[in-house]
Amino acid sequence: MVNENTAQPSDNLIVIHPKGEFVAAGTTSFVERLPSGDIIKTPWAGDVREEDCRKEIAVEAQVYQRIGEHPRLIKMKGWDPKAHTLMLEYMPNGTLENYVRSHNKQISQAQRRHWIAEAAEALHLLHSMGVIHCDVGPHNLLLDSDISLKIADFSGSSLDGSRAMVCPGTRYRAPDPNWKPGKPPTVEEDLFGLGSTAYFIIMGKAPFDELPDEEVEEKYLAGEFPDLAGVSCGTVIGLCWQKEAHSAQLIRGLVDKLNLEGGL
C-alpha cells in the first residue's frame, strides 16, 4: 500500500552528477575541479531554466573560441557541445574579490594599479572582439599562480549586440532611469563596472559598502558616488562612473601612466 503522505521527488528537482571536487555554483552552472586539476563547468539540469542554462554556457564557449588564447583570458581546455560542459584552466589564487579581502593590508599600491591596468586590458580585448561582458566585477576576475589577472564568466555576455543574459550587482551597475528588459548593453556599462572594480581594488571594499542596495541605487541615479579626493586612480574611477571613459584602452593608458609616475 502506498502512503499518500510520503514525499515524492519534485518535477523541478535539480540533478547533479559529480565529476570532481565542488568549487562553486552560479545561476547558470556549477563548477568542479577535476582530478587533472582543470575546472569543469556544467549547466544546471532538471530545473525550469535548464534550456537557458545550456544556451548561456554555449555563449561562454563561443566567447572563448572567438577570442582564443590571451594573457588576460583563462585558457579553455575543452568544450563538449552535447553535454554543454566547459573545461577551463584552474586559477589557484581564486577570485580577485576574495584575494583582496583576505590580503588587503599586504597589497601594495603598485600592485593594485597593475591589476586595474590588467582589468582594462581584458575589457579592451573583449570589446575589440564584439563582446560586452555585462557583469564586470571583482568576482569575475581571477588570479593565476603569479597573481596575474584574467577575466572570466561569459555565460551572460552579449555578442555582437545580442541581448544580455545577466546584469551586474548594484554597486557595479551603471544607473539608467530609462532601462527596460531587452535593452542592448553598452561598452559604457562595462566601463562603469570597471570603475567600481577599480574602487574596490584600491579601497579594499565596494562603493558604498555600508549602505543597503536600495540606497545605493538611489545615490547612483542622483549622480552621487563615493568621494575620490586623494584616492589612487581616482581620476580614472571618476571617468568610468561619469561615463566619460569611452574605451577600456583609454583607461589602460591612463593607469599605465600613473604606474610610471607612481602617483595618484
- The answer to whether residue 8 sits within a structural domain is no
Q: Are residues 164 and 226 in the same domain?
A: yes
* Amino acid at position 224, single letter: E
For residues 128 and 72, is the Cβ–Cβ distance under 8 A? no
- The answer to whether residue 50 sits within a structural domain is yes
Choose one of 70, 88, 106: the last residue of a domain: 88
- CA 208 – CA 114 distance, rounded (Å): 23
* Amino acid at position 54, single letter: R
Q: Are residues 125 and 220 in the same domain?
A: yes
Q: Are residues 167 and 245 in the same domain?
A: yes
pLDDT for residue 22: 84
- What cell does 38 get? 582543470
- The answer to whether residue 6 sits within a structural domain is no
Q: Are residues 116 and 175 in the same domain?
A: yes
- What cell does 244 get? 566619460
For residues 149 and 118, is the Cβ–Cβ distance under 8 A? yes
pLDDT for residue 263: 60
- The answer to whether residue 69 sits within a structural domain is yes
Range(s) of the domain holding residue 84: 21-88
- The answer to whether residue 31 sits within a structural domain is yes
What are phi and psi for residue 151, nearest 5 degrees?
Answer: -90, 150
Choose one of 54, 88, 122: the last residue of a domain: 88
Return mean pLDDT, the chain. Answer: 90
pLDDT for residue 9: 40
Q: Report the relative pairing of strands 76-80 and 85-88 from DSSP bridges.
A: antiparallel
- The answer to whether residue 130 sits within a structural domain is yes
Q: Is 4 a residue whose pLDDT tops 50?
A: no
- CA 48 – CA 148 distance, rounded (Å): 38
pLDDT for residue 131: 98
- CA 260 – CA 246 distance, rounded (Å): 23
Q: Report the relative pairing of strands 39-43 and 131-132 from DSSP bridges.
A: unpaired
* Burial zone of 44 (CB within 10 Å; 0-12 exposed, 13-18 middle, 19+ buried): buried
- Pairwise pLDDT comparison (187 vs 184), residue with the higher score: 187
Work out the average pLDDT over 9-19.
Answer: 53
Q: Are residues 206 and 153 in the same domain?
A: yes
Question: What confidence tier does 5 reach under pLDDT thresholds 50, 70, 90?
Answer: very low
Encode pLDDT of 83-141 as tens digits.
999 999 999 999 999 999 999 999 999 999 999 999 999 999 999 999 999 999 999 99
Question: What confidence tier does 17 reach under pLDDT thresholds 50, 70, 90?
Answer: low
Cα-Cα-Cα-Cα dihedral sign, residues 67, 68, 70, 74: positive
Work out the average pLDDT over 162-184.
Answer: 87
Q: How many domains does the chain have?
A: 2
Helix (H, G, I), strand (E, B) or coil at 45: strand
Residues 6+ away with beta carbon under 8 Å from 234:
228, 264
What strand order describes the sheet that includes 76-80?
21-25, 29-33, 39-43, 85-88, 76-80
- CA 185 – CA 166 distance, rounded (Å): 10
CATH number at residue 75: 3.30.200.20
Q: Is 49 a residue whose pLDDT tops 90?
A: no
Choose one of 51, 71, 88: the last residue of a domain: 88
- The answer to whether residue 13 sits within a structural domain is no
Work out the average pLDDT over 234-250.
Answer: 96
Question: What confidence tier does 262 reach under pLDDT thresholds 50, 70, 90?
Answer: low
- The answer to whether residue 5 sits within a structural domain is no
Q: Is 13 a residue whose pLDDT tops 50?
A: no
Encode pLDDT of 185-232 as tens digits.
999 999 999 999 999 999 999 999 999 999 999 999 999 999 999 999
What residue spans of 1-71 are helical by DSSP H? 50-67
Work out the average pLDDT over 230-243.
Answer: 96
pLDDT for residue 221: 97
Q: Are residues 138 and 241 in the same domain?
A: yes
